[in-house]
């Protein structure tokens, strides 16, 4: 896939110290790329490639020469519409590179319990897992870590029913 070629080549050009900052820069552009007006601007024949690169670098707040060259290649090859996909692919590769993954916990839990869940998942998957709490009024909790394909749901009603069934079986 073309996105894979771009992300692999871009990561290969970066030093260890540049990877995180370059990913953040691409993420900023991808965030803006969700707006349909963005594509109109970066595909505009009225702007030169240099002006487009300058604009994208300002959006990204990053002016590393390797990053600017990456932008130039994307623009010269008319791949402006791939920024969101490049960001997703880059996120996966950077997460694997640093063995650090982000996830979401839905429900009402304390920050201490959130830290415990992070620690347990980190131990189980031998990686650093950072979870963000998305408070929702549900009976239980749900944990999602997309890149690792983790989805865990604990429902209070199900736990109670299972406990009752186990007690009844033991009697």
Burial of 169 (0-12, 13-18, 19+ CB in 10 A): exposed
Select the more confidently predicted residue: 8 or 154. 8
- 3-state secondary structure at position 93: helix
What stretch(es) of the chain map to CATH 1.10.520.20?
2-95
Inform me whether the pLDDT recorded for 85 exceeds 90. yes
- 3-state secondary structure at position 154: strand
Fold for the domain defined by 2-95: Peroxidase; domain 1 (1.10.520)
- The percent of residues in the chain predicted with pLDDT above 70, rounded, is 96
Structure tokens at 76: 């010269």
Q: Of 82-96, 101-115, 137-151, which range is least confident? A: 137-151
Q: What is the pLDDT of residues 27-78, one digit of tens each?
A: 999 999 988 888 888 888 998 999 999 999 999 999 899 999 999 999 999 9
Structure tokens at 115: 């830290």
**Backbone phi, psi, residue 105, to 5°:** -115, 125
């Amino acid at each position: 896939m073309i996105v894979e070629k771009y992300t692999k080549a871009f990561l290969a050009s970066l030093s260890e110290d540049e990877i995180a900052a370059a990913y953040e820069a691409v993420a900023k552009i991808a965030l803006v790329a969700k707006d349909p007006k963005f594509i109109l601007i970066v595909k505009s024949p009225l702007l030169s490639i240099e002006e487009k690169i300058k604009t994208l670098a300002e959006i990204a707040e990053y002016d590393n020469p390797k990053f600017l060259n990456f932008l130039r290649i994307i623009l010269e090859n008319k791949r402006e519409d791939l920024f969101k996909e490049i960001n997703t692919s880059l996120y996966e590769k950077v997460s694997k590179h640093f063995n650090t993954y982000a996830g979401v916990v839905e429900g009402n839990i304390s920050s201490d319990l959130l830290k415990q869940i992070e620690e347990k998942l980190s131990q189980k998957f031998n990686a650093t897992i950072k979870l963000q709490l998305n408070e929702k009024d549900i009976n239980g909790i749900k944990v999602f870590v997309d890149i690792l394909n983790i989805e865990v749901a604990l429902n209070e009603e199900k736990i109670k029913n299972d406990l009752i069934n186990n007690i009844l079986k033991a009697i």
